[in-house]
Structure 1
């Protein structure tokens, strides 16, 4: 059975992912911003551990990485946590997956939630300030472009592990709203499958952008090694934390 960390799993897609993996017998560490976010107490009895931390705060994100390493080497991390607007949109959607990945012992698989809206994100990194989103630039779209490019960069620089981006669709979660047209049930299944499937069943094995179980083509910038490297450089400069390649097999 796999040891899996799911971030932002107090509600919505993260909770659905955690429940599915736990019901299948996997050891799930459920992350939430704080204990008050957990409204489904039943999941607490299913998961191995609960871990708390505000991913909009760099220090708390670093402590979550330390806590996770204290539990053991994870088979997979699902970076589900996300916000749609406000001052923490870059911190949660882009910076937190980078920091957790850079500081944790590399897991066998890294799954990052993207969005179809990443396709309208801006590939101009020259004026990006990760601590001050510019509402004139559609920061949610930008944050998801950066998250997608980050995980595809990870697939390139750590080729022995699996790294994928998933567009869950526009689903009726707290963030998506009740009028969202896509299936909530379908919204979590791809990331749950990628977390534990036999690698031989996953094509592409790594570096995929997925929607409802099928690979799609992402924004061209997300596939561009030069853009990926520029993004990693800016994330390093912003956080002071480098992302090292990991040549060792998972």
Structure 2
């Protein structure tokens, strides 16, 4: 379902960075719901997140940030929930309470238990205080610990996707985490059969493939 006309009087603006897994989640949500938006790149490597104009939008100096008219939201989970309530089709949460709780758990494990340990500011700090080997060990431990928990959580309830045969909130978080870990840190998901099966299913869907970081407007051109 595409939202147009009265439902979208002004195109939404998404401030993001091509490699941000948090921004990646939001792009998938927007695409799933057929919402047109303006993509505004914020180069984290150049420190554009600390530009005074952007800090007015998000004082935390992080991406993504969504601007919907006078409404500004600066956390990926909050953005996705806002979009789901404003544009309810297709829903990102199942009606079944158990499956809904599973979706919240997956989102929480990734957004609070994995992603913060691998973000740019943290790993830069660790490398500055120690060395490159310690940085890799830190990231690897955080990701594998999170994957182990996710595998145990989903092994008996996953279908084609994380919590069944429909795409929900958990899938947006899982696909972006797995993709980011593979590309940035060379950490494969194969040792976790349930997660690996879900990821293979995601790769067959254009809504996921079109949102990958390498296809974003601010991604560097591929080396020839």
Higher normalized helix content (fraction of residues): 2
Q: Which structure would you say has the larger RCO, counting Cα contacts within 8 Å and 6 or more residues apart?
A: 2
- What TM-score do you get using the length of structure 2 for normalisation? 0.32
More strand as a share of residues: 1
Q: Which has the larger radius of gyration?
A: 2
- Superposition TM-score, scaled by structure 1 size: 0.29
